[in-house]
Structure 1
């Protein structure tokens, strides 16, 4: 009798009302903000968009339909207004990273996913020296050596696999950009490349613990799956403890990827810290700098925290670079005149006989920088609105004429801001490198460009990333000719980052003029 009462339709309706309707009524003050489908009642709507790999594009479409403010969760508001960037992300506003970031914790919280303000300040103080101007200059040698191997491998492909009719060898450029980015970050963060360029294969050693046996996994695939499952679970953090029970293979594979990615960092740190590898080691890489870092008490990072921060560098410095490199090549190839202008600028700036230019040779080439920036705008590898929570005790915040209170989660969607015709003009959806000419660029556009976020939680490795992209792009555009071998747009899927699914091109050696 009791069981039948509990399972009665009235009881089920009451449960639904308590779970969905009461929270909605509690947040009635947000009811004037339009929301798609059931987003105002549950985070499951946003979670579904993330699961589909199209979160930023869907949110962008919702903004086109509803306007500058869209309610994408019960207390989560997406604000497509560049004027809100400083309010939400700037120094001194008191906003905290939302519980979305709990889904990205594996070994322990690192600089990226810590939510506590004091802990973040401690970590940033300990790590910031790693990215000083002096350190970045010392990192260039590791970028340079791997780009040299990249050129060697593509020269080999051009010679051995060229189509006799066209002279071009067919490659999936994304794969090779992945190999290059992982080998560079392996060299920078862990003391040695992963060997992907040498093997032409996605493979890396991982260990469950420092003393555990080694196994081998596809690192690029692992990173992609980890990003997708974490970005999905982050939309509904209450489900994180129960994710392994969700009857969708996506979650099981994703959680395994989270463990395997941590295992890659454990294996590489373990190798780097072996006494025989530490003796007389003079490398000035990221791990060496992390080991030198001290907080305000003079304490250095412990083994577990060191590994967590090294993992952060691996994640932040790998597929961000490869995705962007791939997108740069795609947009340059599909836009008439861009390749020719790049050839002219690069041939003029880089001396004959040099295959891989130094950073000093390419950092002052305006058109190359414009192409990179324009790709970061139109492709927006980091596309989603990074969620920030108004903490308890904060006064109400007014944005777009609406008051928001502690507990509200606000975000500015980078993809939508980067495609705003109000900010960028009627050609916002077109690839126009010349828009970055200082004579054309407005102060508003400069402030609205947020590929690395902004404020105290902005990417600490921005300068390394920009140096790497300039050297990589300066090399592959100058040393090779291309033809696009796929029809239609470059397909993408979004996890935490919006990543291409492939780029089929023909390559052949080019003799610089």
Structure 2
């Protein structure tokens, strides 16, 4: 029999069989159409393969590219063989609703490093357990307890900028690089993005791990990680020696980790073990491991030094599930890593974007200055307080308008349709279909926001249908998987922006500068050069 086959088999046949097999693997699902989505428009290659979405994600502009498809095709766009993007505000309450049975898709598996946390767990029971332990941490009562730490580091930022401003007035300049600055024309010129990163990392370092990373003090992107993460996970009662750790650029690695996980997540699970060996993906995987090392190191050091201070980690340790059980060491570290990622990147990205739009739009900055002067005064403490944030409507409008346009969390978070299916705008989607609602696109819905959707205009928040705008506004997602840290994030942004804008007048270095971004899981500005000077009343 083998002799007979050898008479007909030739190695060159493989040159035809392999492409044929690949073609059939992609074409058959399209023609069989198990989820009945063949009629939906979208990029041609996306009908057959995940490669379109994979390439778009790898190039760092997924949300913008998906939005272009919606502008071309309408509210329903097929962006992968089994993934429909739905750019309709009403879909938010359907796809992400409480009790609808939809689960996070396989996309989230690419975000697991130490072990599954509340963000990337897909099992409903496991998520419910984790959420019960964690949710109390971000209650309004807890957030009030965290305010002193937030104000401490905002105050450090202001002191650093005041110090550099005074030096700038003497014509001095700083080193090249992220911490670079110069004095010219009575202003201090610097890139506000690195400083936003330093501030956010130091705040979350203090809150999540009991100590800041020291980035504000040194004006450097640096954090310590253990050389042997596995050994560090086992170390409860030891201090790390200098030979056991090394320094890494944490912000840079966080960005790399986000891009890697995003790009990997949009690929089919059976591709991932092979793709991760490609050079670009290998670097991203190293970033994932390095970032996990930061959490392992920080938690190990904290547990080695018992303390009675109140912070996120102490509240995580005190949390209990329905059976009265606390989190184990590995689970605790995984959740601390989630806090590090969610609490740093979102705040720094948003801070930079808000400052950009205020620097670019003079009318908004001047109106905000007036509100802050009238409500807070110019002779009070330099750092705003939580209670002062309760009656600053224009400040909130300035923040919300920047979150709308910039959309730090811009992509459509994918959900798998549950048994029984879901109906959106009269279109039925059977179970197993993956749906997402892109925040970037619904934040540009002209029926809600008006024809001037690309303009930064905080006044729109006092005009029109406020209920419709609030329903469409989605910076923190909605439903049972919405951002748990929303209260803390908003308090941070309010205190940061109010404190900076009450103290400084800011302009763009180049009046025509357009904020460029690159998207991993979040959309991150690539830099924002501004000029600041202390306001006349504070000189």
| TM-score, with length taken from structure 1 | 0.95
Residues 364 and 457, structure 2, Cα contact 8 Å, conserved in 1? no
Q: Distance in 1 between matches of 2:367 and 2:468?
A: 27
Matched with 1:453 is 477
Moved more, 189-198 or 428-437: 428-437
- The SS at the match of 1:161 is helix
Matched with 1:252 is 282
- The SS at the match of 2:447 is helix
Matched with 1:469 is 493
1:344-355 correspondence to structure 2 within 5 Å:
344-351=370-377, 352-355=379-382
Question: How far off its partner does 1:347 sit?
Answer: 1.1
Residues 349 and 362, structure 1, Cα contact 8 Å, conserved in 2? no
User: Which of 372, 376, 385 does residue 412 from structure 2 map onto?
Assistant: 385
Residues 178 and 319, structure 1, Cα contact 8 Å, conserved in 2? yes
Q: Distance in 2 between matches of 1:103 and 1:270?
A: 25
Q: Distance in 2 between matches of 1:495 and 1:322?
A: 14
Question: How far off its partner does 1:488 sit?
Answer: 2.9
Q: Distance in 2 between matches of 1:396 and 1:259?
A: 38
Q: Distance in 2 between matches of 1:369 and 1:483?
A: 21
1:341-377 CA distances to partner (integer Å, 9 max, x unpaired)? 1111111122414100111112311100000011110
Question: How far off its partner does 1:5 sit?
Answer: 5.0
Q: Distance in 1 between matches of 2:534 and 2:363?
A: 20
Moved more, 216-225 or 401-410: 401-410
Unmatched 5+ stretches in structure 2:
1-5, 172-182
Q: Distance in 2 between matches of 1:284 and 1:461?
A: 16
Q: Distance in 2 between matches of 1:471 and 1:217?
A: 29
- The SS at the match of 1:83 is helix
The list of structure 1 runs, each at least 4 consecutive aligned residues, that deviate by more than 3 angstroms after superposition, is 162-165
User: Which of 98, 116, 122 does residue 123 from structure 2 map onto?
Assistant: 116
- The SS at the match of 2:22 is helix
Choose 1 or 2 for highest CA Rg: 2
Matched with 1:198 is 217
Matched with 1:282 is 308
Matched with 1:442 is 466
Residues 479 and 511, structure 1, Cα contact 8 Å, conserved in 2? no
Matched with 1:356 is 383
The aligned length equals 503
- The SS at the match of 1:332 is helix
- The SS at the match of 1:39 is helix
Residue 90 in structure 1 maps to residue 90 in structure 2: no
Moved more, 350-359 or 45-54: 350-359
User: Which of 262, 274, 279 does residue 292 from structure 2 map onto?
Assistant: 262
Residue 67 in structure 1 maps to residue 74 in structure 2: yes
Residue 25 in structure 1 maps to residue 51 in structure 2: no
Q: Distance in 2 between matches of 1:240 and 1:161?
A: 50
Residues 131 and 460, structure 1, Cα contact 8 Å, conserved in 2? yes
Question: How far off its partner does 1:137 sit?
Answer: 0.7
- The SS at the match of 1:455 is coil
Moved more, 19-28 or 222-231: 19-28
Q: Distance in 2 between matches of 1:169 and 1:216?
A: 29
1:283-432 correspondence to structure 2 within 5 Å:
283-351=309-377, 352-391=379-418, 394-432=419-457
Given the superposition, is the C-alpha separation of residues 68 and 270 from structure 1 closer, same or farther in structure 2, using an over 3 Å criterion?
A: same
Residues 27 and 75, structure 1, Cα contact 8 Å, conserved in 2? no
Question: How far off its partner does 1:287 sit?
Answer: 0.2
1:496-507 correspondence to structure 2 within 5 Å:
496-507=521-532
Matched with 1:224 is 255
- The SS at the match of 1:481 is strand
Residues 516 and 526, structure 2, Cα contact 8 Å, conserved in 1? yes
Residues 105 and 113, structure 1, Cα contact 8 Å, conserved in 2? yes
Residues 347 and 512, structure 1, Cα contact 8 Å, conserved in 2? no
Given the superposition, is the C-alpha separation of residues 342 and 397 from structure 1 closer, same or farther in structure 2, using an over 3 Å criterion?
A: same
1:44-59 correspondence to structure 2 within 5 Å:
44-59=51-66
- The SS at the match of 2:284 is helix
Q: Distance in 2 between matches of 1:89 and 1:201?
A: 39
User: Which of 14, 17, 23 does residue 7 from structure 1 map onto?
Assistant: 14
- The SS at the match of 1:410 is strand
Given the superposition, is the C-alpha separation of residues 15 and 480 from structure 1 closer, same or farther in structure 2, using an over 3 Å criterion?
A: same
Q: Distance in 1 between matches of 2:411 and 2:340?
A: 21
Matched with 1:185 is 204
